[in-house]
């Protein structure tokens, strides 16, 4: 099991630690509910250094990424970030990821540079897939093991961390980034992205820098209520927004069209892996769809619990579920046939000997 550069900080704070994607990660410090509410109302900081980062650099860097991802990377300007996925040849999802278009001072003349941020559990799989399909004049550099990443999330983040950077953080638009000074270090990526729906930034820096960055954020933030946040609250926060978790809500067998990710699937762009399959699925229509639902019962719908119709017949499976601290009720995601996907449709979640009534609803579960 691997450690991140911040593992000693988590242990010193008394975090409950557990294995996640091969890493020793903090699940919670003071409790999931308190940490969740801290991020929604104020600000919290997550260690997400387990995520993977690849640099794609060369004269045909854009063409390679355009070929292996579903979104249209040609639209990216320097300083833009983009959510996308890596489709397989049957239209399933190898991984979901972020694509960053980096400054061109990192490149030789005529080249472009990008950074791909992938899920920790898929680093090797994604690297092998992209390398296998790299028939372009470009090169890949895996910087995962040397890159640290913290996410500082919540509505009060700018007020808390503005003193750590000369950059006017309020000017960085959502899904944009700058490479500048932060906490005394130069060339740090400050990205207006995150996985909570609460606003904030993700900070990418070298492993040798990320511990000092963590310490500085904690120093300026603690008197203003900022807390360290574990992966438990990260999951409840992302689920309230309906953000997909790879391995639960999306995987190699689910298409982005089924998962509600048509907005990152640009069928009409140039040739890309899985395009023909996805185009055929779009023309013929999908047969199942990822839906959100709520329960009045406080019991939590767990991954792979059966979803049933009114005749108690199984029609699908729960992919994610939790008790929402913001709504004070149980919520979940799952795949059902499209005829059950309309909001206000009644479905049932099978929990042992009892089927609990649930109602299909729109996403996100909460409005920020």
What CATH code is carried by the domain that includes residue 161?
3.30.1360.120
Q: Based on the domain organization, do 311 and 205 belong to the same domain? A: no
Crossing angle (nearest 10°) for helices 231-240 and 32-41: 60
Rounded Cα distance between 257 and 236, Å, is 24
**Helix-strand-coil percent breakdown of the chain, rounded to 5?**
25, 35, 35
Judgement on whether residues 34 and 177 belong to the same structural domain of the protein: yes
User: Both 150 and 38 in a single domain?
Assistant: yes
Report the distance separating Cα 225 and Cα 138, nearest Å: 45
For residues 236 and 291, membership in a common domain is answered with no
Same domain, 25 and 155: yes
Structural domain tally of the chain? 2
Residues 160, 44 within the same domain: yes
Asked if residue 160 belongs to a domain, the reply is: yes
304 and 227 in a single domain? The answer is no
**Same domain for 321 and 177:** no
Other beta carbons within 10 angstroms of residue 59's beta carbon come to: 15
Task: Establish if 300 belongs to a structural domain.
Answer: yes
Tokens, residue 173: 């638009």
User: Could you count the other beta carbons within 10 Å of the beta carbon of residue 351?
Assistant: 17
Q: Verify that 303 and 176 share a domain, yes or no.
A: no
For residue 182, what are the domain limits?
Answer: 7-50+146-240
Section 329-357 average pLDDT: 96
Q: At what angle do helices 61-68 and 123-132 cross, to 10 degrees?
A: 110
Confidence check: pLDDT of 108 > 90 = no
6 confidence band (pLDDT: 50, 70, 90): very high
Asked whether residue 135 is domain-assigned, the answer is no
CB atoms within 10 A of CB 364: 14
Nearest CA-CA partner of 68 in 259, 270, 237: 270
pLDDT band at 104 (very low <50, low <70, confident <90, very high): confident
Contacts of 152 (CB under 8 A, 6+ apart): 43, 44, 45, 46, 160, 161, 200, 201, 202, 203, 217, 226
The CATH number assigned to the domain holding 312 equals 2.40.30.110
189 in a structural domain: yes
Is the same domain home to 337 and 213? no
Half-sphere exposure of 329 (CA within 13 A, CB side): 13
pLDDT band at residue 227 under the 50/70/90 scheme: very high
Element (H, E) at 359: strand 354-361
pLDDT digits (tens, 9 = 90+) for 235-293: 999 999 999 999 999 999 999 999 999 999 999 998 999 999 999 999 999 999 999 99
- End-to-end CA gap in the chain: 36
Q: How many CB atoms lie within 10 A of CB 345?
A: 16
Cα–Cα dist 136/216, whole Å: 42
Note whether 201 and 305 are same-domain residues: no
78 Cβ partners below 8 Å, 6+ apart?
101, 102, 103, 104
Confidence of residue 166 (pLDDT cuts 50, 70, 90): very high
Report if residue 218 sits inside a domain: yes
What pLDDT, on a 0 to 100 scale, did the predictor assign at position 317? 98
Whether 123 is covered by a domain: the verdict is no
pLDDT digits (tens, 9 = 90+) for 139-158: 999 999 999 999 999 999 99
Domain-embedded: residue 330: yes
46 shares its domain with 152: yes
Tell whether 152 is covered by a domain: yes
pLDDT for res 368: 60
| pLDDT, tens digit (0-9, with 9 covering 90-100), for 40-58 | 999 999 999 999 999 999 9
- pTM of the full predicted structure? 0.96
């Amino acid at each position: 099991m691997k450690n991140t550069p911040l593992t000693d900080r988590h242990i010193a704070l008394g975090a409950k630690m557990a294995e996640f994607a091969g890493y020793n990660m903090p699940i919670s410090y003071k409790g999931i509910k308190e940490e969740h509410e801290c991020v929604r109302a104020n600000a919290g900081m997550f260690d997400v250094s387990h995520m993977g980062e690849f640099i794609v650099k060369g004269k045909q860097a854009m063409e390679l990424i355009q070929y292996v991802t579903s979104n249209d990377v040609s639209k990216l300007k320097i300083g833009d970030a983009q959510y996308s996925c890596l489709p397989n040849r049957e239209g399933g999802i190898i991984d979901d990821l972020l694509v960053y278009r980096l400054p061109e001072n990192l490149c030789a003349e005529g080249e472009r540079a990008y950074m791909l941020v992938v899920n920790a559990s898929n680093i090797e799989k994604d690297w092998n897939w992209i390398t296998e399909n790299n028939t372009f004049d470009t090169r890949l550099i895996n910087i995962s093991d040397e890159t640290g990443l913290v996410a500082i999330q919540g509505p009060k983040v700018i007020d808390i961390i503005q003193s750590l950077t000369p950059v006017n953080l309020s000017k960085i638009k959502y899904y944009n980034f700058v490479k500048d000074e932060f906490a005394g270090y130069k060339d740090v990526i400050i990205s207006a992205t995150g996985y909570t729906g609460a606003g904030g930034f993700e900070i990418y820096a070298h492993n040798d820098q990320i511990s000092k960055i963590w310490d500085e954020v904690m120093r300026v933030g603690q008197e203003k209520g900022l807390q360290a946040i574990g992966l438990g609250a990260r999951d409840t926060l992302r689920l309230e927004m309906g953000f997909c978790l790879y391995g639960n809500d999306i995987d190699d067998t689910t298409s982005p069209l089924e998962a509600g990710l048509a907005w990152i699937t640009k069928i009409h762009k140039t040739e890309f892996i899985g395009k023909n399959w996805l185009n055929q699925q779009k023309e013929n229509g999908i047969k199942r769809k990822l839906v959100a639902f709520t329960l009045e019962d406080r019991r939590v719908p767990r991954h792979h619990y059966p979803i049933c119709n009114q005749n108690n017949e199984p029609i699908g499976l729960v992919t994610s579920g939790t008790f929402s601290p913001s709504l004070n009720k149980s919520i979940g995601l799952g795949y059902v046939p499209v005829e059950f996907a309309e909001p206000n449709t009644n479905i049932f979640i099978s929990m042992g000997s009892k089927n609990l009534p649930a109602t299909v609803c729109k996403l996100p579960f909460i409005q920020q």
